[in-house]
Chains A and B, each alone.
Chain A
Amino acid sequence: MKNNITSRKTMEILFKIFCGVATLVGICALGLLLYHTVLEGMVFLKPAFFSNFQSRFPARCGMKAGIFGSLWLIGVTAFIAVPFGVSSAIFLEEYASKNKFWSLVELNISNLAGIPSIVYGLLGLAIFVRGLKQGQSVISGSLTMALLVMPVIIVSARESIRSVPLSLKEAAYALGASRYQVIFGHVLPVALPGILTGVILALGRAFGEAAPLIIVGALSYVSFVPENIKSEFTVMPIQIYNWAGRPQEAFHQIAATGIIVLLLILLSLNLVAIIIRDHYQKRFRL
């Protein structure tokens, strides 16, 4: 019997090289991008950059409005989207009966996760800014962002709720527990790390979004920090977009500084979330 061992091994090596190269290309491109950004942006990365507002003079430019605006926006977005998203996921997984109507709803939620963010911006403008007369405020932006991230949260929360072993739920039901007690006592604690991962990813996406907020009317020149949810605001990606669009070279460097700060904040937010997730994962490991 011929085993073709040589040719199969050759294929193996070729495939391995192809995969390695593909990985390297991605890493190199990212590394190069990061290197250039850091090189360009380091000039303006000083404490003053965090405490100054927007300015006509590059040396006096700062991101305070953007940083606080982004934190406000994401905070309020999370406050709206997480409870609604997770509750919807619980409903669809644990309560809704498996019929055509709910299958249709599920299909549509998955589709919503893939809709371009600018469409949500237009929706937000029509409903929250004009329809509900909330103006170009934090709450309008947050409601729009909540709509944007909710499908992602629902889809990922459902995945992790579904992965809770049936045997565990059966054990709880067999003790005479109500559905509510099973969900809060066993399903959510076990699904929590997975739900948190989805929430982190979704909020990370919202953090970097500029397009829908430009439509909703986040300002690019803001020299104040939002005081409440009715305040006007700007966010970091919009400031970066604005700086990058100016003709002067110095503003491009400022944009790079802005990118560094955005990345750092995103990274630290993710880090905190990962630590929380690992903490729960250890507690409830099966």
Chain B
Amino acid sequence: MTLLAHDLKSYFHTEIVLKEPEQIVLPPEHVVVSAKDVSIFYGKKEAVKNISLDIYKKKATAIIGPSGCGKSTLLRSINRMNDFVSSFKMTGQIQYGGRDVMKTDPMLIRSQIGMVFQRPNPFPKSIFDNITWGPKIHGKNQNLEELVEDVLRKAALWDEVKDRLHELGTNLSGGQQQRLCLARALAMGPDVILMDEPCSALDPKSTSRIEELISVLKNEYTIVIVTHNMQQAARVSDYTAFFYEGEMVEFDVTQNIFTRPQNKQTEDYITGRFG
């Protein structure tokens, strides 16, 4: 019975929000997201080891490194997508707009920090509904047609789908689906867009379209992109962080990382000697 009592307690504790959380107002400073001494554990395994990292406003920051280096783990902790992993534990602090994300309502965090996943995951609904579902659940029901056109244009998908907005989003090609997912994230009007290897399931042509989009979108949004494709990081990002085995080896302006890395490991990785 003590187990039950404990379970009920945690159940109500996490599920019931007693008062409407305040909207997060971004400070004028340049740092939007900031990780401070963050370590992340899955059970006993330490996936991320004591990382401190600043994400700058309206810049694209790439996190590169070989598989299993903790880059996705860190990314998913920014918008609290690791909440669903029961063995997940984090020490240190990730701040968004100066507020500790672990102490902020995850629904609020996620409505301001959008995410594009590794595999395109449109809802099995129409293209129109895919984009409007997010705004609708947050109570926005007006001017949805304009919103759909606007975000589809931003995601460079409008011309391809404008005549079939009410067909299933899942019937699009892989590259189109991923741009639809991007449009869906943009429809929330986020400050930050997190991209978790957004091109790993796409062909080269679709990949280059997404990369072009990132280069444009970073004028308006803060973008964090996790990738194991170094050329991609070099092409689209302003800052690059190199992760290896859970540690951040180096963080610098992208150009510096790729032309004169300070660390031997970084140099070996970007020159293709391992990873």
Contact = CB atoms under 8 A, between A and B. Distances in A.
A167 interface: yes
A181 B135 CA distance: 12
Contacts of B122: 171
Interface in A171-225: 171-179, 181, 185-186, 189-190
Contacts of B11: 95-97
Nearest to A286: B124
Interface string B113-140: 0110101011110000000011001100
Contacts of B79: 174
A170 B134 contact: no
Interface in A136-191: 165, 167-168, 170-179, 181, 185-186, 189-190
A179 B110 CA distance: 13
A190 B124 contact: yes
B115 A174 contact: yes
Contact of A175 (B86, B137, B170): B137
Contact of B170 (A95, A170, A181, A286): A286
Contacts of B124: 168, 189-190, 284-286
B101 interface: no
Nearest to B107: A176
A42 to B, nearest CB: 47
- Chain A, interface size category, equals 20 to 34
Contacts of B18: none
B114 A185 contact: no
Contacts of B138: 176
Contact of B137 (A102, A171, A185): A185
A185 B125 CA distance: 10
A171 B133 CA distance: 11
B90 interface: no
B81 to A, nearest CB: 6
Contacts of A95: 11, 15
Interface string A53-82: 000000000000000000000000000000
Contact of B7 (A102, A175, A186, A190): A102
A101 B111 CA distance: 34
A100 B4 CA distance: 9
A99 interface: yes
Contact of A168 (B112, B121, B185): B121
Nearest to A102: B7
B10 interface: yes
A5 B273 CA distance: 47
Nearest to A100: B3
Interface in A87-128: 95-102
A207 B216 CA distance: 63
Given A97-B86, A185-B133, A170 B188 contact: no
16 contacts: A102-B7, A168-B121, A168-B123, A171-B117, A171-B122, A173-B81, A174-B185, A175-B110, A175-B114, A175-B185, A176-B138, A176-B188, A177-B110, A189-B124, A284-B124, A286-B170
